[in-house]
Amino acid sequence: MNTSNRGSQIGPPRFAIAVHILVWLAKSGSFLSSSAIADQVNSHATFMRRVLATLVQSGIVEAREGRDGGYSLRLPAESITLADVYTAVTWVTCEAADSGETGECGEQGVQLDQALLEIMNEAERQTVEYLKGHTIASLL
């Protein structure tokens, strides 16, 4: 059995990095530069900035430009559930397959077997429901 760190990864890599980012932002209570965040979460800066962009787009994180700029929580840590983070950084469903559009799922997603798609959507729904019971503040 493989016992490396890679096997202990919980959830998609974007989710784990997003949670780490949000915990550091909550602990800081102020704006942090992307380089300061990258140092704290031990992530490649480009990957981390993509995750931060998603968190900004979802309204969880605020970005400010300029000398005193950086990233900060837009919402109180107590109100950010892990479900919010999960849905912000992952594709929860592949609804484009039902509509005939490729959307974010791409051509392969459209061609997925419908039974498998239903199973994966249900697993995602149950994951999101479970994560609603946990907040960033509970991880501080």
What DSSP designation does 31 have? Answer: -
pLDDT, tens digit (0-9, with 9 covering 90-100), for 24-66: 999 988 899 888 888 888 888 888 888 999 999 999 999 999 8
pLDDT, tens digit (0-9, with 9 covering 90-100), for 70-107: 999 999 999 999 989 988 887 544 443 344 444 445 55
Q: Where are the domains of the chain?
A: 12-139
In this predicted structure, what is the pLDDT of residue 51?
92
For residue 10, is pLDDT > 70?
no
Global pTM reads 0.69
In this predicted structure, what is the pLDDT of residue 67?
83
| 12 or 89, higher pLDDT | 89
Distances (CA, A) of 22 to 74, 76, 107: 10, 10, 33
What's the topology of domain 12-139? Arc Repressor Mutant, subunit A (1.10.10)
In which band, very low, low, confident or very high, does the pLDDT at 114 lie, cut at 50, 70 and 90? low
Distances (CA, A) of 40 to 2, 5, 67, 114: 27, 18, 20, 41
In which band, very low, low, confident or very high, does the pLDDT at 11 lie, cut at 50, 70 and 90? low
